[in-house]
Amino acid sequence: MSYDRPQELLKPVKRRFITLTFALALMMELLPLPVGSTRWLPDFVGLLILYWAINQPRRIGIGMGFLIGLIVDVSTNSLFGQHALAYSVTTYLVMLRQRQLIMFNLGQQALVVLTLMLANQLTMALVRLALGSAFVGAGYFLPPLMGALLWPLLTKLLLLPYRHHTL
Amino acid sequence: MNFANTPRFSNQGLRPGSQLLLCVLTSLALLIGDSQFGLMDRTRDALSVVLYPIQRAVNMPMAAAAHIGEFFITQTSLKQENAELRSRELAQSARLARLTSLEQEVQQLKALNGLRTGSLQAGHLGEVLYTARDPFSYKIIIDKGLDAGLAAGLPVVDERGLVGQITRVQPLTAEVTLIIDKNQMVPVVNQRTGQRSLLYGYGGGVEVRYLPAAADIQPGDLLVTSGIDGLYSEGIPVARVTRVDRPAGASFARVLCQSIAGVQSSRYVLVLPPRAAMPPRPEPAAQPAKPKKKKDTEDEG
């Protein structure tokens, strides 16, 4: 919320809606997409976790980030605990500065999200390197950029059901 | 714009720092347990059964779109394809006739020599459900599992050549590690020279390692499975050599290869049955699921 714009009162968020968004994001993970697209498609679940951690810190905290990370680990067939570790670290970072983050406008938030998503990828890359995988190249750090670019759109979309008036 | 957040008045639960510590420790334990000791396999199996219907549901629109696309195909293209197939069948049948006579000849020769013949049985056709999005591992998930009697270690091919090997079997699905995955090895033989070697995946491609710098290998050589590992049946095309570097100081040549099969693009794959006839080993047998254990036998052969 930035103070140069009129402030808007929003309806309270339902738990059902949060679950639904995560279910949709997980289904995106399971889609049989062409091989090349995984190189640049952002990590939707990671983005959502950041979104809800920034906007609803009471609902999605470090523990939820960890649990959702475990589900992502299973559905993407990566090592158990890899996404869980990355998500719990980034949600912790969000929690440290949540009061500040929520005051930023979308552009500033996108920058923060970029850093956090990069931290996600870096954590996972470090874990996999430590456990003996080969490095996959700098292209691995492209999805966070796409994610940050999508951030304003995602925010607008997720706010739609909670406006009192219709657009 | 933000949601109406009620501030946290009373201190509830653990502090963020301790929460993080707990989560990090748990995930590190899980990571090490999974990667080093394989403790999580049962959990993964159970969860994969839960995820299976979702996977199918997500696959359905894609499959339907493909089906509709096939339905609205023009007659001219059908006719053209028909004609092409007809001419190809003619050519193939001529080749087939020659091959059958050759096969008989080989059978006779092998019978004369008292060799065992590797019988080719039908395999299980599997559809690729999805490629794991984890960019560090080159694996695909197919829609056949324990229900079709698959087991870890079975080779997987497509219509052109070797794709990989089954590494994990779940009740309804199976995980195939592609030949381009890091640490995945295939014993191969150079079809032109008959020289045996090991084909290593390095994560995104394949190369032949530990081949003497003076070895007779050149770009364009076809590498097929040698079949002496007791795992892959012999003669499955695996890769074609694309570049051979012979660095002056090194004792090994650097041989880059291109896989023959559509390793990351085929939609349908065939899981070959296990090889039945294998003579007993003189020494205690190594685990059949891991071809890297077979390196010593490779050197003897």
Decide if the complex's ipTM is over 0.90.
no
Subunit contact B31:A81, Cβ cutoff 8 A? yes
Average pLDDT over residues B34-43: 80
Domain extent listing, chain A: 42-160
Q: Percentage of chain A with pLDDT > 90?
A: 42
Chain B residue with Cα closest to A14: B3
Residues of B with Cβ-Cβ distance to A75 under 8 angstroms: 51
pLDDT score of A35: 62
Q: CA-CA distance, B142 to B155, in Å (whole number)?
A: 13
Chain A residue with Cα closest to B48: A74
The first and second tokens of residue B137, run together, are 């591992």
For residue A117, which amino acid is it? M
Render pLDDT for A108-143 as a digit per residue (tens, 0 to 9): 999 999 999 999 999 998 998 888 777 777 888 888
- Helix (H) / strand (E) element for B157: namely strand B155-157
Subunit contact B2:A128, Cβ cutoff 8 A? no
Chain B residue with Cα closest to A5: B1
Q: How confident is the model at residue B166 (pLDDT cuts 50, 70, 90)?
A: very high
- Give me the half-sphere count of Cα atoms (radius 13 Å) on the Cβ side of residue B89: 6
Q: Percentage of chain A with pLDDT > 70?
A: 88
pLDDT score of B136: 76
Domains and CATH numbers, chain B: 120-275+291-301 (2.40.10.340)
pLDDT score of B293: 46
Q: Å from B205 to nearest chain A CA?
A: 12
Q: Å from B105 to nearest chain A CA?
A: 44
Residues of A with Cβ-Cβ distance to B17 under 8 angstroms: 92
Residues of A with Cβ-Cβ distance to B31 under 8 angstroms: 79-82, 85, 127, 131
Chain B residue with Cα closest to A140: B135
CB count, 10 Å around CB of B281?
10
DSSP string, A66-101: HHHHHHHHHHTT--TTHHHHHHHHHHHHHHHTHHHH
pLDDT score of A161: 81
